[in-house]
Amino acid sequence: MSHSAFAYVDGVLHAEGVSAVTLAERFGTPLYVYSRAALTEAYQAYAHACAGHRASVHVAVKANSNLAVLNVFARLGAGFDIVSGGELARVLAAGGQAKDIVFSGVGKSAAEMRQALEVGVKCFNVESIPELDRLNAVARELGKKAPTSLRVNPDVDPKTHPYISTGLKANKFGVAFDEARATYRAAAALEHLEVVGIDCHIGSQITEIAPYLDALDKVLDLVEQIEADGSRIHHIDVGGGLGITYADETPPDTGLFVRTLLERIEARGHGHREVFFEPGRSITGNAGILLTQIEFLKPGAEKNFAIVDAAMNDLARPAMYQAYHTIEAVAPRQDTPHVYDIVGPVCESGDWLGRDRSLAVEPGDLLAIRSAGAYGFVMSSNYNTRPRAAEVMVDGSDVHVVRARETVSELFAGESILPA
């Protein structure tokens, strides 16, 4: 869908109205490039499908937490799903409203809970009884009641990568399905908690609707049992995790996905409850690319290597998940292509960005790594004392630097050597 924001014009890849060659010349590489139009289009697909229903969109900040990206969504009226106190501070700095923030995550500290209660977040998605007890204690200290929802683990297999599947019995997330009813009773007995909802998130990069419906049916059964026990469930949080096209995946249309879940909820007599969607990758993933320049072409006996200036510290997904990203020449040549592994300068064999890619390129050429708007910059590091990339946002023919490139001196500004 959002690939349209990154298209070839006269043989050169453009981001909206700006040539990727111009971007690399002006801002250097590696460079993260986001499209405001693509972010807007992907968000509106959710928002428009929710219109007319008691449903709202809470953008998953972990996928892309750049302030400008969050601000685009805040201006569109988005809520946010956070997993840390740092993400809470980012959302507020970007113009988001505390009352529209859902606080998820399996290991919230007392300080993070305090921070969220003081600003007045919409809800805490709690994942264990010890966390319920801690939240109750922090709320008591502050003389407040914490709006609480339990993340229930429906044990539905989303058939995705094991590292990003989160709703199975073997995962660290959520309350086990068969313990959920008792955990809700425990929550209801705590004086400084107010049970307001139920939450479920089965994984990431899911490209079918069926696992969501399986999970939803189990959650709706549970809601009926919880209400029979005396707690009111005001909202159902269906989580995020809808996949995107990296290569040849065919995820469902966003509008169809949202409508299908809302129709199931309404058909089962739960239409009076509010529904939260928490998209992350599906609204930012294909709204960003990573530009990188080829340093060397290194032929080998078994493999040819294109050594580029981006590395696993800039884009961790291939090394971490064996993830596939489409990689294209920014200005393709008419020469005979060769097959290369695209690798970075970091001293690890795991430092690769793409394997066995057919490209007609020369040293100095630019490559665009597609679908880099989610879990790209946010997972980047300074391994090998490499400054993190700059980030820019393209808005039509305008370009805004939304994060300056780090400098090496900044990397060790907080360090000190021992006294003489």
Any idea which residues carry the catalytic annotation?
347
Contact 89, 111 (CB under 8 A): no
DSSP state of 364: T
Known binding-site positions: 241, 278-281, 317, 321, 348, 375
Beta strand 79-82 pairing with 101-103:
parallel
Torsion (CA) 310, 312, 318, 324 in degrees, nearest 10: -10
CA-CA distance, 30 to 175, in Å (whole number)? 41
Q: Is the separation of the CB atoms in 331 and 293 below 8 Å?
A: no
AA identity, residue 213: L
Q: How far apart are CA 11 and CA 187, in angstroms?
A: 60
Helix (H) or strand (E) holding 366: strand 366-369
Q: Which long-range contacts link 162-169 to residues 24+ away (Cβ below 8 Å)?
A: 163/320, 163/321, 164/203, 164/204, 164/205, 164/321, 165/202, 165/203, 165/204, 166/201, 166/202, 166/203, 166/204, 167/200, 167/201, 167/202, 167/203, 167/215
Q: Parallel, antiparallel, or unpaired: how do β-strands 338-343 and 101-103 relate?
A: unpaired
Could you tell me which residues are annotated as the binding site for substrate? 281, 317, 321, 348, 375
